Amino acid sequence: MFDLERILLFHLELTDKCNAACPMCGRTQPADRCRPDRAKVKNIELTLGDICKAFTPKICRRILQIDLCGGLGDPPAASQCLEICEYFVAQGVIVTLSTNGGLRNAKWWRQLGEIFRRNDSLVEFHIDGLEDTNHLYRVNTRFSKIMENARHYLDSGATGEWHFIVFRHNQHQVEEAVTLSRQLGFSNFKLIDTIRFGKEKRFEYQAPDGNIRCLEPSTMPAVDLRRNTGQPDVDVSATSYIENRDSLHVNGIKCKSAIQNRPYIVADGSVSACCWIQGSDDEKQMYLRASHRPENHNILQRPLEEILTEEPFISIYRSAWENGNNPVCIRKCGQMRRNVRLTL
Ligand code: SF4
- For residue 329, how far is its CA from the centre of ligand 1 (angstroms)? 5
Give tens-digit pLDDT for 75-92.
999 999 999 999 999 999
Confidence of residue 245 (pLDDT cuts 50, 70, 90): low
How far is it, in rounded angstroms, from Cα 139 to Cα 207? Answer: 8
How far is it, in rounded angstroms, from Cα 225 to Cα 220? Answer: 7
Q: What is the pLDDT of residue 325?
A: 84
Whose Cα sits closest to atom 6 in ligand 1?
Answer: 274
End-to-end CA distance of the chain: 34
How far is it, in rounded angstroms, from Cα 57 to Cα 48? Answer: 14
How far is it, in rounded angstroms, from Cα 338 to Cα 329? Answer: 12
How far is it, in rounded angstroms, from Cα 41 to Cα 16? Answer: 6
Q: What is the pLDDT of residue 234?
A: 47
Ligand 1 atom showing the smallest separation from residue 275 Cα: 6
Q: Ligand 1: which of 10, 239, 266, 274 to mutate, judged by most atoms within 8 Å of the beta carbon?
A: 274
At 5 the three-state DSSP class reads: coil
- For residue 93, how far is its CA from the centre of ligand 1 (angstroms)? 24
Residue ranges of domains in the chain: 1-344
How far is it, in rounded angstroms, from Cα 321 to Cα 316? Answer: 9
- For residue 2, how far is its CA from the centre of ligand 1 (angstroms)? 12
- For residue 255, how far is its CA from the centre of ligand 1 (angstroms)? 5
Please give the DSSP secondary-structure letter assigned to residue 20: -
Q: What is the pLDDT of residue 212?
A: 97
Whose Cα sits closest to atom 1 in ligand 1?
Answer: 329
Q: What is the pLDDT of residue 239?
A: 39
Confidence of residue 237 (pLDDT cuts 50, 70, 90): very low
Concatenate the DSSP letters of all residues of 65-82 into one string.
EEEE--SSS-GGGSTTHH
Ligand 1 atom showing the smallest separation from residue 274 Cα: 6
Whose Cα sits closest to atom 7 in ligand 1?
Answer: 273
Residue 293 has pLDDT above 90, yes or no: no
Whose Cα sits closest to atom 8 in ligand 1?
Answer: 255
Average pLDDT, integer, range 313-327 = 92
- For residue 276, how far is its CA from the centre of ligand 1 (angstroms)? 7
Q: Are 167 and 23 in contact (CB under 8 A)?
A: no
Residue 243 has pLDDT above 60, yes or no: no
> 85 to each of 47, 102, 114, 156, how far by Cα in Å?
11, 18, 11, 16
Ligand 1 atom showing the smallest separation from residue 254 Cα: 3
Q: Which amino acid is at 242?
A: I
- For residue 265, how far is its CA from the centre of ligand 1 (angstroms)? 14
* Cα 67-292-290 angle, rounded to 5 deg: 85
Q: What percent of the chain has pLDDT over 90?
A: 81
Residue 108 has pLDDT above 70, yes or no: yes
Average pLDDT, integer, range 126-136 = 98
Q: What is the pLDDT of residue 8?
A: 97
For the ranges 15-29, 141-155, 289-303, which has the lowest average pLDDT? Answer: 289-303
Concatenate the DSSP letters of all residues of 90-127 into one string.
HTT-EEEEEE-S-SS-HHHHHHHHHHHTTTT-EEEEE-
Confidence of residue 70 (pLDDT cuts 50, 70, 90): confident
Q: What is the pLDDT of residue 240?
A: 41
Confidence of residue 309 (pLDDT cuts 50, 70, 90): very high
- For residue 270, how far is its CA from the centre of ligand 1 (angstroms)? 16
- For residue 253, how far is its CA from the centre of ligand 1 (angstroms)? 8
Confidence of residue 230 (pLDDT cuts 50, 70, 90): low
Q: What is the pLDDT of residue 47?
A: 98
Residue 208 has pLDDT above 50, yes or no: yes
Q: Ligand 1: which of 243, 256, 321, 322 to mutate, judged by most atoms within 8 Å of the beta carbon?
A: 256
Is the pTM of the predicted complex or chain greater than 0.85?
yes
For domain 1-344, give its CATH number from 3.40.50.740, 3.20.20.70, 2.60.40.1760, 2.30.40.10.
3.20.20.70
Residue 236 has pLDDT above 60, yes or no: no
Ligand 1 atom showing the smallest separation from residue 1 Cα: 8
Q: What is the pLDDT of residue 231?
A: 63
Confidence of residue 7 (pLDDT cuts 50, 70, 90): very high
Q: Which helix or strand (DSSP H or E) is residue 341 part of?
A: strand 340-343
Cα dihedral across residues 245, 321, 13, 203: positive or negative: positive
Q: What is the pLDDT of residue 238?
A: 37
122-126 sheet: strands from edge to edge: 271-272, 264-265, 8-12, 63-68, 94-99, 122-126, 159-165, 188-193, 340-343
- For residue 257, how far is its CA from the centre of ligand 1 (angstroms)? 6
Q: Which protein residues touch ligand 1 with a CB less than 6 Å away?
A: 253, 255-257, 273-274, 276-277, 328-329, 332-333
